[in-house]
Amino acid sequence: MLPSWLSPRGGAESSAPATHAVLGTPLKAPLMADQEEAIFACGCFWGAEKGFWRLPGVVSTAVGYAGGQTENPSYNEVCSGRTGHTEVVRVVWSRPALDFSDLLKLFWECHDPTQGNRQGNDTGSQYRSAIYTFNPEHLQLALASRDAYQVALSAKGYGAITTEILADQTFYFAEDYHQQYLAKPGSRPYCSAMPTQTLLGDFEGSNYKLPKQVWDKYDWSISHCVLRSDNSPIALG
């Protein structure tokens, strides 16, 4: 299979940097045998990316655009709403250290997946919630987790989940200045995510690997929890 950022028609051009500003890992390296990838959209990609790069076992993250029709879109084009893309985070992780279930837990808990083409103060199709997977197992886990989270949300009075869940969507790297934005000097501390303070429990196929001490670092009752946290990855032990 082609990497997620390469389209069958020749591939995405990108000005993205070579290495991750926090993790120091390559942004475009081929997946190793024990690594996997998935793409998540949960509002403005600045805060979403930081939430994911802090998880132990995450090898690399990058922000970009996916789920649309236009090849190699720019930020301005995506913001126009005419390309069909949403702001996303591509996550690469180590399979021995982290399960897809752990990533799904962070995804569902870090934003409100019932808001449609909006997240908080950010409105437009480019802010819709989405999960894009690259193998059948991950697709089934995403759907199962959605169903379980819907039950939990409904019990709290929330409406229907609007998250788009699709397979094999091309990822286009966002511009250099967006990558790991919140870790860069002078960045504007901004995050549009609206966590529901609803936790994702066990669901069909779930196999959580991260301990409670990791999840204690994400306190969704604190406004803009991700912004207030350290940039460095959460340490185990």
Per-residue confidence band for 128, with pLDDT thresholds at 50, 70 and 90: very high
Per-residue confidence band for 118, with pLDDT thresholds at 50, 70 and 90: very high
> Domain for residue 69, yes or no?
yes
Whole-number average pLDDT of the chain:
93
CA distances from 40 to 146, 154, 165 (A): 13, 22, 10
Helices vs. strands in the chain: H and E counts, helices first: 6, 8
pTM here is 0.93
> Domain for residue 16, yes or no?
no
Active site positions, annotated: 44
Per-residue confidence band for 1, with pLDDT thresholds at 50, 70 and 90: very low
How many domains does the chain divide into? 1
> Domain for residue 111, yes or no?
yes
> Domain for residue 174, yes or no?
yes
- Structure-token pair, residue 70: 């236009």
> Domain for residue 121, yes or no?
yes
* CATH number of the domain to which 134 belongs: 3.30.1060.10
Predicted local distance difference test score (pLDDT) of residue 73: 96
Q: Which residues are CB-contacts of 101 (< 8 A; sequence separation ≥ 6)?
A: 141, 145, 203, 205, 206, 207, 208, 209
> Domain for residue 226, yes or no?
no
Q: Which of 40, 84, 81, 79 has its CA nearest to residue 63?
A: 40
Q: Quick one: 5 exposed, middle or buried, by C-beta within 10 A (0-12, 13-18, 19+)?
A: buried
> Domain for residue 30, yes or no?
no
Predicted local distance difference test score (pLDDT) of residue 21: 97
Q: Which of 91, 95, 124 has its CA nearest to residue 32?
A: 95
Q: Which residues are CB-contacts of 95 (< 8 A; sequence separation ≥ 6)?
A: 34, 35, 36
Q: Indicate whether 4 pLDDT > 80.
A: no
14-18, Cβ contacts within 8 angstroms, sequence gap of 24 or more: 14/172, 14/173, 15/173, 15/175, 15/176, 16/62, 16/64, 16/173, 16/174, 16/175, 16/176, 16/179, 17/176, 17/179
> Domain for residue 3, yes or no?
no
The torsion angles phi and psi of 141, rounded to 5 degrees, stand at: -65, -40
CB 13 within 8 A of CB 223: no
Q: What is the domain range of residue 109?
A: 35-212
